[in-house]
Structure 1
Amino acid sequence: MCMRCGKSLEEKSGVIFGYIHKTDMKNLLRYKKLYLILDLDHTLLNSTSLAHISSEEEHLRGKVDSREDISKGSLFNLEHMHTMTKLRPFVRTFLKEASEMFEMYIYTMGDRSYALEMAKLLDPKREYFHERVISRDDGTQRQQKGLDVVLGQESYVLILDDTEKAWTKHKDNLLLMERYHYFASSCQQFGFSCKSLSEMETDENEGDGAHATVIGVLKRVHTIFFSCMLPSLTELEDELAGRDVRQVLKTLRKEVLEGCKIIFSRVFPTHFPARQHQLWKMAEQLGATCTVDLDDSVTHVVATDAGTEKSRWAVKEKKSLVHPRWIEASYYFWKRQPEESFSVDQKASS
């Protein structure tokens, strides 16, 4: 069905969605389900051109999984697309558990043929997405993603993506994912000079990796949103009308660094407005208070150099001196990370 005029569309004409009428939304809410929008690349999986496989990744060619039983595999050689794709660890369990709480959509800036091929790898039995696959061919804004394509009420929608800039109008719905860089070409694309996971012949941990973390967050959001449910559908509609999943997400996020007061030391470029820096914004979203005034109420000094005046003060006053990655890790894992795991090397500056 055309999202603009309501005309029925053939499959080849583009995305096939049933317009989400109020009736459909009532049914979803009756079954305690919300909407979940999932990005593909660097969120659920990582792909590379076969031509870009490095010499240290050649071992992968002999480790690809058979497509006879896709549901058991995670590394696929798609020769017809000249592509190799690696599914992120825990993704199958993640999709299974998320499907019990959400109606899920794939939304990618890749083209439609690629999106459908990835959907086959992730959902070979068509249990989770059905026709709910959105590609750049279906978007209404160039280089931007929008919930106008999904047609669901924003207060009932969560988004999982590795790129905040793609959702400038819907940041409050977004759970930002740490990017999954399995292949060397992916690292190079984002300017990293380090070896990729595949080159090191390792991978994210199934038990406490990105998807294992975020499914826990989704469960908490879902539980809070549907708490104190009322028995009748009419009462349910009235009760849920005032609820907003974005507020639930915001509240949970602010619990992560609640009670922390942070000052930064030589982390931002000279003359850069501190309050506009991503780290400052992240810390505040996590519930921390950020300041430019050094006093006894400060609990954390964030720095990369232990030799700065503020860093030395932190050591002297027995305050936490942590690397900026402490904030990032706490943000992605939705949990305050151990400060000792992100200490600033004092020997290098002595």
Structure 2
Amino acid sequence: MGRKFYVQRLEIKELESGSLESLPEEEDKEAYGDGDGDGSDVESESRIKRRKGDNLESVEETNGSTSQGLPEQILLWIETSIDRLHNTDVKKSLNNKKLYLVLDLDHTWLNSTQLNHMTAEEEYLMSPPDSLPDELKGSLFRLDCMRMMTKLRPFIRTFLKKASEMFEMVISRDDGTQKHQKGLDIVVGQESAVLILDDTENAWIKHKDNLIMMERYHFFRSSRAQFGFTCESLSELKSDESEPEGALANVLDLLKRIHKIFFYELGGNLIDRDVRQVLKTVRKEVLKGCKVVFSRIIPSKVQADNHLLWKMAEQLGAICSTEVDSSVTHVVALDAGTEKSHWAVNQNSKQVFGPSSVA
């Protein structure tokens, strides 16, 4: 009791022979096409993808049958069949040396602004394409019908080309089965074979082990203001991220590393491997060999090892401590005047990080 099944009717229709007779034939033809090979099924699938939230039916078991009148054994059959379809697809992808990659859009692959939000320093972006700086040509798009301007992140085309050789890619939007949450239940694939690239961790509460956090791309001033930043934007500075050394180039290197470990360095059957474990191992290499002390960042009333920054540093492979000693390599402080900050400055081999160094 209480277990929920999310059934997408398109998938039910495409199951192997023995399909449910209780599904009205005429209703299926109207909603999903009659499957006569004229392309109506493809059009129906596209329509369903655009309206996933409406087409996913939440069915809850109650005393062996459901409120929709479907007996429990049929729901179990549906669940088993959909799982079998997913597993078959995953096996095919893995045999082709491909994992799944879920991609966020806004602030990850592109950045947009309303035209009426642009500052005087950004007015040059309104010039004809031929008069724009060379680095902006082909990556800046003015959508007059929406009164909007969109900028693609540097390196995106190379990234997508290279990543597509290693991953089946899915674009993530707000179309999960839970409000305000993104989920892998809309992805054909099992969680052990899926990675996610997104700039927002809270959107993936149930899938943090699959998530690779991306540095947000703020090209326009309004975008920076949205997140509380007051300094000049890349657009106002007439600058942009570096292609060879920017966020997308760095994350591509990370994905190559994960892909190599998963397919060429792990033992056992492919289907039994888990990319989440690979990601966890790779994360620990980031701050491997570092010993970190936080100074006036973690409130005194909070147990230090329960604080988010402490846990994050440990996930990246660092050792955290509350006291300084000769083994400490980094001090992270909000105030350069703290005792621990002074200690680190006086130790030539120590590094100090605070607001000025992060900005």
Q: How many angstroms does 1:170 deviate by?
A: 0.6
C-alpha displacement of 1:84: 0.7
CA distance in 2, matches of 1:276, 1:35: 32
Q: Distance in 2 between matches of 1:211 and 1:325?
A: 24
The 2-side partners of 1:41 and 1:206 are apart by 18
TM-score w.r.t. structure 2 length? Answer: 0.73
Deviation per residue, 1:89-141 (Å, 9 max, x gap) = 00000000000000001102xxxxxxxxxxxxxxxxxxxxxxxxxxx2x3211
Counterpart residue identity of residue 293, structure 2: I
Task: Please list every run of 5 or more consecutive structure 1 residues that lacks an aligned counterpart in the other structure.
Answer: 67-71, 109-135, 231-237, 327-341, 345-350
Pair 184,178 (structure 1): closer, same or farther in 2 beyond 3 Å: same
Match of 1:77 among 135, 142, 145: 142
Residues 141-178 of structure 1: CA deviation (Å, up to 9, x unaligned): 11111101113111100000000111111111111011
Distance in 2 (alpha carbons) for counterparts of 1:25 and 1:188: 42
Matched, 1:56 2:121: yes
Larger radius of gyration: 2
Instruction: Return 5+ residue gaps in structure 2 as ranges.
Output: 1-5, 14-31, 33-43, 53-81, 132-136
Selected match of 1:196 from 233, 250, 253? 233
Q: In 1, Cα distance between the equivalents of 2:302 and 2:143?
A: 45
Do the aligned partners of 1:262 and 1:298 also contact (CA within 8 Å) in 2?
A: yes
Instruction: Report what 2:273 is aligned to.
Output: 243
1:89 counterpart = 2:154: yes
Q: Residue 8 of structure 2: which of 4, 12, 35 is its match?
A: 4
Q: In structure 2, do the counterparts of structure 1 residues 64 and 175 end up closer, same or farther at CA, with 3 Å as the change threshold?
A: farther
**Aligned counterparts of 1:243 and 1:307: Cα–Cα separation in 2:** 49
Paired residues in the alignment total: 287
Question: CA contact under 8 A between 1:65 and 1:75: conserved in structure 2?
Answer: no
Cα contact 1:322–1:343 (8 A) shared by 2 = no
Instruction: Using the TM superposition, give the Cα deviation of residue 64 of structure 1 relative to its aligned residue in structure 2, in angstroms.
Output: 4.4
Give the TM-score of the pair, scaled to structure 1.
0.75
Which residue in the other structure is 2:327 paired with? Answer: 297
Which letter does structure 2 place at the counterpart of 1:32? K
Q: Name which of 171, 190, 208 aligns with 2:208.
A: 171
The one-letter code sitting in structure 2 at the alignment partner of 1:292 is T
Q: Does structure 2 retain, via aligned residues, the 8 Å contact 1:301–1:319?
A: no
CA deviations on 1:160-198 (whole Å, 9 max, x unpaired) are 000011111111111101100001110111011111110
Structure 2 letter corresponding to 1:148:
D
Q: Paired residue for 2:309, among 273, 279, 283? A: 279
AA aligned opposite 1:4: Q
Paired residue for 2:75?
Answer: none
- What SS does the aligned partner of 1:36 have? strand
SS of equivalent to 1:60: helix
Could you tell me which residue of structure 2 aligns to residue 308 of structure 1?
Answer: 338
Q: Offset at 1:311?
A: 1.8
Question: Per residue, is there more helix in 1 or in 2?
Answer: 2
Q: Deviations over 1:234-279 (max 9, x none)?
A: xxxx611331111111111101211211111112345344334443
1:222 aligns with 2:259: yes
Give yes or no for contact 2:102–2:195 (8 Å, CA) kept in 1.
yes
CA deviation map 1:34-75 (0-9, x unaligned): 000000000000011122122211110115489xxxxx7210
Separation (CA, whole Å) in 1 of partners of 2:311 and 2:128: 42
CA displacement at 1:307 relative to structure 2: 2.4
Letter in 2 for 1:28: S
Root-mean-square deviation (CA, aligned residues, Å) is 2.7
Kindly indicate whether residue 181 of structure 2 is the aligned counterpart of residue 144 of structure 1: yes
Q: How far does residue 3 in structure 1 lie from its aligned partner after superposition?
A: 4.7
1: CA distance between counterparts of 2:316 and 2:332?
A: 15
1:98 maps onto 2:128 in alignment: no
Give the equivalent residue in structure 2 for 1:267.
297
Out of 24, 29, 32, the residue aligned to residue 97 of structure 2 is 32
Q: Corresponding residue for 1:128?
A: none
User: Aligned partner of 1:80: which letter?
Assistant: C
